[in-house]
Amino acid sequence: MHNFLPIAYFQNQFVPFTDAKISVATHALHYGTAAFGGLRGIPDPQNPKQILLFRLDRHCQRLSSSARFLHFDLPADKIQQIITDFVLKNQPTTSFYIRPLVYTSDLGISPRLHSVEKDFFVYGLELGDYLSPQGVTCRISSWYRQEDRSLPLRGKISGAYITSSLAKTEAVESGFDEAILMNSQGKVSEASGMNVFIVRNGTLVTPGFEQDILEGITRNSILTIAKDLGIPTVERAIDKSELFIADEVFLSGTAARITPVSRIENYQFSSDRPITEKLRDKLTAITENRDPQYKDWVFTIPLN
Note the pLDDT of residue 1. Answer: 76
Angle in degrees, 0-180, between the axes of helices 274-287 and 217-228, rounded to the nearest 10: 110
Residues in the chain: 304
In the DSSP assignment, the letter for residue 18 is: G
Q: Is 63:37 a contact under the CB 8 Å cutoff?
A: yes
The whole-number pLDDT of residue 284 equals 95
Supply the pLDDT for residue 132.
Answer: 82
- Cα separation, 227 vs 149, in Å, equals 31
pLDDT of residue 137: 97
The pLDDT assigned to 304 comes to 77
DSSP state of 37: -
- Return the C-alpha torsion angle 97, 130, 269, 237, nearest 10: -50
Mean pLDDT of each 10-residue bin along the chain, 304 residues long: 94 98 97 97 93 97 97 98 98 96 95 96 92 92 96 94 98 98 97 97 97 96 98 98 98 93 97 97 96 96 90
CATH code linked to domain 7-126: 3.30.470.10
Domain 136-287, CATH number (from 3.20.20.70, 3.40.50.300, 3.40.50.740, 3.20.10.10): 3.20.10.10
Residues of the chain within CATH 3.20.10.10 domain(s) are 136-287
CB 78 within 8 A of CB 244: no
Distance of CA 179 to the CA centre of its chain: 15
In this prediction, residue 59 carries a pLDDT of: 97
**What residues does CATH 3.30.470.10 cover in the chain?**
7-126
Q: Which residues are catalytic?
A: 156
Q: How many CB atoms lie within 10 A of CB 150?
A: 10
pLDDT number for residue 202:
97
**Of 73, 78, 67, the residue nearest 102 (C-alpha):** 67
Check: CB of residue 104 under 8 Å from CB of residue 27: yes
Q: What is the reported pLDDT for 256?
A: 84
Q: Are 117 and 104 in contact (CB under 8 A)?
A: yes
